Structure 1
Amino acid sequence: MSHADLHTTTTTAVGPGAVRSPGDRPWMPFAVAGGAIVVALLLGFLLPDYWLLISTSVLLAMLSLIGLGIVTGTAGMIALCQLSFAAIGGWVLDFLMTQTPLYPALGGFAFIVAMLVGALAASLLGFVVGLPALRLRGVNLAVVTLGVAAALDMTLQKVSFPDQWSNTRVARPLGIPGSSDLAGNRYYFFFVVAVVVLVAGAVFYLQRSRWGAGWRSVAFSERGTASTGTSVTSAKLSAFTVSAFIGGIAGGLMVGQVTTANYITFQTLNSLGLYVLAIAVGAHLLEMTLLGGILFVLIPEILKQFKVPLEWSSIAFAILGIQALTTNSNLGSDIRNALLRRRRKAGKSQAEATLALLEPLGVQKPHGGDHVLLEVEDLSVRFGAVAALNAVNVRLREGEILGLIGPNGAGKSTFIDALSGFLPSHTGRIALDGTTLDALPPHRVARAGLRRTFQQDRVPSTMTVGAYVRFVANGASQQRIEEVLEFFGCPASATPLAIVDVGTRRLIEVAANVAAGPRLLLLDEPAAGLSHEEHLAFADRLRAVPQRFGVTLLIVEHDLDLVRSVCSTLVVLNFGEVLASGPLEAVLSDPEVLKAYMGETEMLS
């Protein structure tokens, strides 16, 4: 075994001191769920009626926070109307149970059916509320969602809940007695526990699916998300829809807790308090939603016991929110970081790239075949009166590595953006293997086989290395993913990206896109942040990519040593126009190219 093979084997293995991801412990969710059920059974039989009702309220608040955490924590958007979704779910359940023949027809199962129908109605509202999120962010989105909460608040005050129309109580599920019965409250508590465990388990796996990865990626970078072939629109709307569905379930259970409903439970002020707690405790972490639920219920309850006006609970929530916003952190992350500090420290060596330690492959620069893969004809981009690109023509053969260079402001980044779908207003023609890409949005361009990396860091720090690569390389086998990570000397799959330096993250971004297997990969200054030794090894690996992985490369790079090392063909842009193109040595010796670079002449000679 070579030194490179030995080193790669030891870094990809997960040793005793490694930082593990939840995927390394598939039994953990079941153990946690089992433990929660055991604790719930003990509490259900030991707690008096008052504390049983309080515990049920805590679980319902926890359920609302689980839904809210998807939008605010995982997907990074603002939603100030979570209890509005709960109100819709509760209202629909109330209507079906008291104003329709559903209960006589289905008996004890009617509540469950009505709860799910209410959750679907809430998810429809969530989808509608999510539409402005496609255009709005920050304060503007907060105003819209707050407006939804206020409008629904006033509507409920006018129409009230259906059980009040006929003075009829809502029957609990599965024949559980009403709220005045101690045994009924106990069994309803068990029912709520079962629902919370099921929802939490579903969210746990959903957050680790492609949907969850898309939410995390959108929170970090919408451009980076689109470049992976993921629709930003779908990611945002799905986050709001799922969040509202869970909110609708919580609302139905709130009605079942007291067998009636009151609009006060779903007031706008309560939604604001819930949002502040979601930010303060970190509701994207499932374990912290329980703490958030406890605070949401117990703070007002404690104030009530001491006869303090309940308005002070809003002040307490505001203090928690201010603390979270000013420190740019949350309680959940702080606690988790404190608990994992030793393990992260022990796994620090795994967070470092081993690229410089890999043995050279000795592959020559690829020259490609005769087949033209990328054809750019008369590509022009204007920003007002400024011509960023003017009639640019580029042809790239399959299997070669083409370099794109030019002085600062020459139009290189604009060229990459136009090719990858981020500048739809361009004129001219862009074709990949004969398929025109001009009218396609970025995620459709990526799905068509053209991927890109970025100059700025677009790798979400909330994932592990393996989770990020699986997200970008959707559909790639685990064997291929591990092969590419090993090929580029990346950290182990289980390594949290939060402890990986920026230079190594860029290397992981390149590896992930290679693993995706596109026809063409655009690399925008991929060597930035690498040491000299890593730089040499990186060039050696890039030369082998077309032949080994079947990915043709177009590299935008200021580092001419890297360009010389890997590219066989070169295109030079200057003031948005092609100054020279052709074989590398001929282009670099062109007097016009030397003149364009001025002070960089020595580098080119």
Structure 2
Amino acid sequence: MRFLKPMTNWRRRVERRHAIALAGTIVGLAVVPFLLPAYPLALLTLALAYGLFAFGLDLGWGRAGVISIGHAAFFGIGTYGAAIAVNAGIPVAIGVAAALALSALVALGIGHVGLGNRALASTMAVLTLALTLLAEQIARSWLAVTNGSNGLFVPSPGVVDNFYRTAIVALVVVTAVWFVALRGPLGRRLLAVRVNEQRTEHLGVDPHRTKTTAFVLSALVATVAGSAAAPVIGLVSPATAGIVMSTQVLVWLAVGGRGTIIGAFLGAGIVTIGQEYLGEAIGSWYLLVMGVAFILVVRFAPGGLVGFAAKLRRSPLARSAAQDALIFSDHTDADIASARPAAAARGGDFGRLRQDEEMNIRPPIDLDPSALSLKDVTKSFGAVPVVRGVTLNIPAGQIVCLIGPNGAGKTTLLNLVAGDLPVSSGQIRIRDREVTSSSAHERAGLGLGRLFQIPSIYHELTPAQNMAMARAEAFQWVDLPEELERFTNNSDILTQDLPLADQRALELAMSIAWGPEIVLLDEPAAGLSHEDSVRLAQTLRNVNQQLGCTLVIVEHDMDIVRQLADRVVVLADGMVLVDGDMDEVSAHADVRNAYLGAV
């Protein structure tokens, strides 16, 4: 078992190329006013403010997959925060601070409702659409504060001053967010949740918390962008918080490319500057041209211009900017001490010790003889009972196979134990802790791993990146058997191109790499050849013997069951029919006739 040290050197987050890019950006922004006349410089300033707005949306939509079609509400809060402060004669910083506080509260409320476990996929779209319509209506109606449709005038300090102020705000915000969030644990989790939320939750990450954090951060950046844009726009009107602006920022980000910093600013710059010059050249026809251009980008470059350029200059395997920024752990090999404390003495107690923003070492646990226990667990879908009063007691280190006909409730029972489904009644305990109402990520945090019928892995990443993602969420990780450790250094292929047997082996490696005490496996041999099934069974036996993991396996292949099972539990009609070793189960008349045939 290996223990990770906390990161103590911030330079590990910043590579030389990042420093060069930052320095080049600073120099470029510094000299631009000496190269451009006033009007193009003003357009570029507006594009910078809009690019920061698009970057804010990208933190939610592009990085975490949180759909917001009314994000201009937060941009409008920022513009009005600055405008109201200027017109009231109070420091702009106070108005911006108030706008940020309001945006944070609104975003937190919407995220809590729209990203909850019971929320539909369309809930966030509906809520954010309603928000931008409400924000625009309030701006039109609250005459005493917003001056209605006439808007509020914000004087400009001058074209050059405006540019430098906007550039500094954009540079500071983007750099701070990139360094603190995107290069840290949050950035990695954003990518993980977007690519495979199910697997990420079973690694112990709370998807709701992660996506809500991303949405709030997204709203705050959009608010800062709005406050920076106020003196650039000059006249702050309800349109800055309306549906048209919300639609435009979606176009900017789609054109430039989601999941990249440069994509947000490139898209905003091309569309903002392009429509100004096209409007002057061809009048209202520019809308048609921009619409056609947008359709072409979406059709032929769904990753935006940045993604299209990356495809032209890189192989399909080359990692994207988003992967490069987020996937790798902040720890290097030099940070890993090969300490092996009391793991063996504790009989395979690989208690889940999470590496979050701060890492606290959990004291040793006095294990209950039962690693997993179920008491009178039932589950009904409407009036149809699927699991009916199942009681099981599984000792630590045992391999238990669940068998039975289709519809017996095996997978449902595994989902209940994993926390993917709520129980109708009964009690589930992991060691000495009741987890009946705990979420899946909370159960993973107690040492519960999970494999699915269809391998649940990060298909867009390489096997090495998959392993890095899994191990990054652990304070301690396990030295895997050789047949699984091979994935740790495999960066030559995407996991979506692996054979099914290797995908299943990779999922197993990810599921045990952080040291769970109990692993649930749902038909791990499904779809495999006989030879691959035998190899997988041997791997599972090695995992059990070397790591001391308790394995609970749903399996139909009786050869695999005979090879693996210390104990067999037969389910029928949602109830336990027989519970014993393979000889006892095989000798049972009902089992022989109904499930095994002649044995």
Classify the TM-score, shorter chain. Answer: 0.7 to 0.9
Residue 162 of structure 2 is aligned to residue 188 of structure 1: yes
Structure 1 residues 153, 433: CA separation in 2 closer, same or farther (over 3 Å shift)? same
**Contact conserved, 1:403 with 1:554, CA < 8 A, in 2?**
yes
CA distance in 2, matches of 1:328, 1:400: 48
**Contact conserved, 2:495 with 2:503, CA < 8 A, in 1?**
no
String of CA shifts for 1:355-390, please: whole Å, max 9, x gaps.
xxxxxxxxxxx9999922211122221223322112
When structure 1 is superposed on structure 2, of 64-73 and 243-252 the one drifting more is 64-73
Question: Residue 79 of structure 1 aligns with which residue?
Answer: 68
Question: Residue 334 of structure 2 aligns with which residue?
Answer: none
Tell me the CA shift for residue 88 of structure 1.
0.6
**Contact conserved, 1:406 with 1:412, CA < 8 A, in 2?**
yes
User: Following superposition of structure 1 onto structure 2, how do residues 363-382 of structure 1 map, counting pairs within 5 Å?
Assistant: 371-382=369-380
Question: Residue 125 of structure 1 aligns with which residue?
Answer: 106
CA distance in 1, matches of 2:105, 2:486: 46
Question: Residue 254 of structure 1 aligns with which residue?
Answer: 229
Return the letter of the residue paired with 2:489: A
Question: Residue 9 of structure 1 aligns with which residue?
Answer: none
CA distance in 2, matches of 1:577, 1:421: 19
Residue 458 of structure 2 aligns to a residue whose secondary structure is: coil
User: Following superposition of structure 1 onto structure 2, how do residues 218-233 of structure 1 map, counting pairs within 5 Å?
Assistant: 218-233=193-208
Please, which of 395, 398, 401 is the counterpart of residue 399 of structure 2?
401
Return the letter of the residue paired with 1:601: G
User: Following superposition of structure 1 onto structure 2, how do residues 423-434 of structure 1 map, counting pairs within 5 Å?
Assistant: 423-434=421-432
Return the letter of the residue paired with 2:486: G
Return the letter of the residue paired with 1:31: I
CA distance in 2, matches of 1:292, 1:88: 23
**Contact conserved, 2:275 with 2:290, CA < 8 A, in 1?**
no
Return the letter of the residue paired with 1:320: F
Residue 281 of structure 2 is aligned to residue 284 of structure 1: no
Question: Residue 299 of structure 1 aligns with which residue?
Answer: 274
**Contact conserved, 1:470 with 1:476, CA < 8 A, in 2?**
no
CA root-mean-square deviation: 3.6
Structure 1 runs (4+) deviating above 6 angstroms are 163-169, 325-328, 366-370
CA distance in 2, matches of 1:457, 1:318: 40
String of CA shifts for 1:496-527, please: whole Å, max 9, x gaps.
74654373343333222212222211112234
Please, which of 131, 144, 157 is the counterpart of residue 140 of structure 2?
157
Residue 220 of structure 2 is aligned to residue 245 of structure 1: yes
When structure 1 is superposed on structure 2, of 458-467 and 504-513 the one drifting more is 458-467
**Contact conserved, 1:61 with 1:296, CA < 8 A, in 2?**
no
Question: Residue 7 of structure 2 aligns with which residue?
Answer: none
Tell me the CA shift for residue 272 of structure 1.
0.9
Please, which of 487, 491, 498 is the counterpart of residue 490 of structure 1?
487
CA distance in 2, matches of 1:448, 1:127: 28
User: Following superposition of structure 1 onto structure 2, how do residues 513-524 of structure 1 map, counting pairs within 5 Å?
Assistant: 513-524=511-522
Question: Residue 601 of structure 1 aligns with which residue?
Answer: 597
**Contact conserved, 1:218 with 1:225, CA < 8 A, in 2?**
yes
Residue 30 of structure 2 is aligned to residue 41 of structure 1: yes
String of CA shifts for 1:246-277, please: whole Å, max 9, x gaps.
10010011013255523334431121122133
User: Following superposition of structure 1 onto structure 2, how do residues 498-513 of structure 1 map, counting pairs within 5 Å?
Assistant: 499-501=496-498, 503=500, 504-513=502-511
Tell me the CA shift for residue 481 of structure 1.
6.5
Question: Residue 539 of structure 1 aligns with which residue?
Answer: 537
Please, which of 540, 543, 566 is the counterpart of residue 564 of structure 2?
566
When structure 1 is superposed on structure 2, of 523-532 and 566-575 the one drifting more is 523-532
Structure 1 residues 336, 513: CA separation in 2 closer, same or farther (over 3 Å shift)? same
Residue 79 of structure 1 aligns to a residue whose secondary structure is: coil
String of CA shifts for 1:188-212, please: whole Å, max 9, x gaps.
3233333323333344452353323
Return the letter of the residue paired with 1:37: I
Tell me the CA shift for residue 485 of structure 1.
8.2
CA distance in 2, matches of 1:25, 1:245: 24
Structure 1 residues 97, 463: CA separation in 2 closer, same or farther (over 3 Å shift)? farther
Structure 1 residues 438, 339: CA separation in 2 closer, same or farther (over 3 Å shift)? same
**Contact conserved, 1:367 with 1:400, CA < 8 A, in 2?**
no
Tell me the CA shift for residue 235 of structure 1.
2.2
Structure 1 residues 427, 343: CA separation in 2 closer, same or farther (over 3 Å shift)? closer
CA distance in 2, matches of 1:437, 1:296: 52
**Contact conserved, 2:41 with 2:163, CA < 8 A, in 1?**
yes
**Contact conserved, 1:37 with 1:193, CA < 8 A, in 2?**
no
User: Following superposition of structure 1 onto structure 2, how do residues 567-582 of structure 1 map, counting pairs within 5 Å?
Assistant: 567-582=565-580
Residue 406 of structure 2 is aligned to residue 419 of structure 1: no
Residue 229 of structure 1 aligns to a residue whose secondary structure is: coil
Residue 490 of structure 1 aligns to a residue whose secondary structure is: helix
CA distance in 1, matches of 2:311, 2:586: 50
Question: Residue 182 of structure 2 aligns with which residue?
Answer: 207
CA distance in 1, matches of 2:516, 2:293: 49
Structure 1 residues 329, 35: CA separation in 2 closer, same or farther (over 3 Å shift)? closer
Structure 1 residues 30, 559: CA separation in 2 closer, same or farther (over 3 Å shift)? farther
Structure 1 residues 34, 367: CA separation in 2 closer, same or farther (over 3 Å shift)? closer
**Contact conserved, 2:462 with 2:493, CA < 8 A, in 1?**
yes
Tell me the CA shift for residue 547 of structure 1.
4.1
Please, which of 230, 236, 242 is the counterpart of residue 211 of structure 2?
236
**Contact conserved, 2:467 with 2:487, CA < 8 A, in 1?**
no
Tell me the CA shift for residue 458 of structure 1.
3.0
Tell me the CA shift for residue 399 of structure 1.
1.1
CA distance in 2, matches of 1:331, 1:526: 41
**Contact conserved, 1:376 with 1:394, CA < 8 A, in 2?**
yes
**Contact conserved, 1:192 with 1:253, CA < 8 A, in 2?**
yes
Question: Residue 383 of structure 1 aligns with which residue?
Answer: 381
% identical equivalent positions = 26
CA distance in 2, matches of 1:160, 1:284: 39
Residue 406 of structure 2 aligns to a residue whose secondary structure is: coil
**Contact conserved, 2:448 with 2:519, CA < 8 A, in 1?**
yes
**Contact conserved, 2:451 with 2:520, CA < 8 A, in 1?**
yes
String of CA shifts for 1:333-352, please: whole Å, max 9, x gaps.
3432333217659xxxxxxx
Residue 258 of structure 2 aligns to a residue whose secondary structure is: coil
Tell me the CA shift for residue 413 of structure 1.
0.8
Structure 1 residues 537, 118: CA separation in 2 closer, same or farther (over 3 Å shift)? same
Tell me the CA shift for residue 563 of structure 1.
2.7
Question: Residue 448 of structure 2 aligns with which residue?
Answer: 450
**Contact conserved, 1:277 with 1:321, CA < 8 A, in 2?**
no
When structure 1 is superposed on structure 2, of 187-196 and 52-61 the one drifting more is 187-196
Residue 341 of structure 1 aligns to a residue whose secondary structure is: coil
Residue 20 of structure 2 is aligned to residue 31 of structure 1: yes
Kindly indicate which of the two structures has a greater share of residues assigned to helix: 1
Return the letter of the residue paired with 1:189: F
Tell me the CA shift for residue 578 of structure 1.
1.6
Residue 64 of structure 2 is aligned to residue 66 of structure 1: no
Return the letter of the residue paired with 2:571: L
Question: Residue 99 of structure 1 aligns with which residue?
Answer: 88
String of CA shifts for 1:14-68, please: whole Å, max 9, x gaps.
xxxxxxxxx9983332222222222222323211111111111221221111111
CA distance in 1, matches of 2:466, 2:412: 26
Question: Residue 126 of structure 2 aligns with which residue?
Answer: 143
Return the letter of the residue paired with 1:148: L
Residue 243 of structure 2 is aligned to residue 268 of structure 1: yes
Return the letter of the residue paired with 2:102: A
When structure 1 is superposed on structure 2, of 429-438 and 151-160 the one drifting more is 151-160
